[in-house]
Structure 1
Amino acid sequence: MKQEIPQLDSPIRNFGVQLSSTPRGARLARLLATEQLRTWGLPTDPAAHIVAELAANAATHGRVAGRDFRLLLYVVGDTLRIEVADTRGECRPQTRHPTDDAESGRGLLLVDALADRWGTTPGPRPRKTVWAELSLPPDHGNACSGATGGLSQRPRR
């Protein structure tokens, strides 16, 4: 008797790259993520904004001279997960509420507004990973649906 192997309704897709903890590395993370999402036939927004914020934080607050950060994107089922890992595990990200005239400090507020879920995962030491998830529409893996389908919008609080 032949045993059937279960098939996934949608493929598992992943992309990872290690980048320098510099402003240039952060910009490259956004560009590479945008191109990978296009290759997968997924919309670039709001995922590209989330990648930009997490990569900028890794290059600014997670920077250790001579150590890189890692960007990982993957799709499993109906979820796009974005992960950025750096080598400052002792520096946990926190949302701040900057003054109106502050020039920075809004990155995690944007991530919180754009992502369905986000958080941090420790280790292995000295690393930490900041992650964000976006729900995909049910037809994201359907070749007949085209590449124009958007990420689902979460209800606003």
Structure 2
Amino acid sequence: MIVWDVGYTEQLCSDGVLDVRQVRANVRRRLAETLAARDHGFDAGDVDLMVCEITTNAVRHSASGSAGGGVWVTMLFASRRIRVEIQDDGGARAVPAIPSQGGGWAESGRGLLVVDGLADRWGTSVGNTGQTTVWFEVAG
């Protein structure tokens, strides 16, 4: 069982379309603040990239990408583990999944492959009101 030492949850939204860069900047700031006092081996660049991929999916495939849409970001910290959860505003047509092989020349559709390759664990859940949460964990 993992005992989380520190946790943060915040809603990030916009009057227009949610800016993925804003979400990434907030996560980087929280990550730096929390890890500054800890001995860790986390790759903040990997965390940043996974946040970017998951948030981009939320903006492209759910109501989070509508005017006024947003995401909830939760970050949990244990001594040697980080968990990040990104919850969209709902309205997605499907649960996020790694696409089947075949679209080698496609310009999109590889975000969850990146998450799968960088995270120690990751997954999805759908709430009762349709919001999808994509989470990942990395060990340091």
Specify the TM-score bucket, using the shorter chain as the normaliser.
Answer: 0.7 to 0.9
- 1:29 maps to 2:33: no
Q: 2 CA distance for matches of 1:95 and 1:89? A: 15
Question: 1:16: which partner in 2?
Answer: 9
Question: 1:83: which partner in 2?
Answer: 85
Residue 69 of structure 1: how far off its partner (Å): 1.4
Residue 43 of structure 1: how far off its partner (Å): 4.3
SS of 1:94 mapped into structure 2:
coil
Query: Which whole-Å deviations, capped at 9, do the CAs of 1:17-74 have from their partners, x for residues lacking one?
Result: 21237351x2111111111111122641211111111111111112253442111111
Q: 2 CA distance for matches of 1:90 and 1:104? A: 17
What are the ranges of 5 or more consecutive residues in structure 1 without an aligned counterpart?
1-9, 137-157
- 1:107 maps to 2:101: no
Question: 2:32: which partner in 1?
Answer: 38
- 1:48 maps to 2:51: no
Task: Identify the range of structure 1 (126-135 vs 61-70) with the bigger mean alpha-carbon deviation.
Answer: 61-70
| Structure with the higher helix share, 1 or 2 | 2
What are the ranges of 5 or more consecutive residues in structure 2 without an aligned counterpart?
36-41
Q: Which has the larger radius of gyration?
A: 1
Q: 2 CA distance for matches of 1:117 and 1:108? A: 12
SS of 1:120 mapped into structure 2:
strand
Say what the alpha-carbon RMSD is for the aligned residues: 2.3
How does the TM-score come out when normalised to structure 1?
0.70
What is the aligned residue count? 126
| Cα contact 1:88–1:126 (8 A) shared by 2 | yes
In structure 2, do the counterparts of structure 1 residues 130 and 11 end up closer, same or farther at CA, with 3 Å as the change threshold?
Answer: closer
Residue 123 of structure 1: how far off its partner (Å): 0.7
| Cα contact 1:90–1:126 (8 A) shared by 2 | no
SS of 1:70 mapped into structure 2:
strand
Q: 2 CA distance for matches of 1:98 and 1:50? A: 23
Q: Percent identity between the aligned chains?
A: 30
Q: 2 CA distance for matches of 1:49 and 1:127? A: 22
How does the TM-score come out when normalised to structure 2?
0.78
| Cα contact 1:62–1:91 (8 A) shared by 2 | no
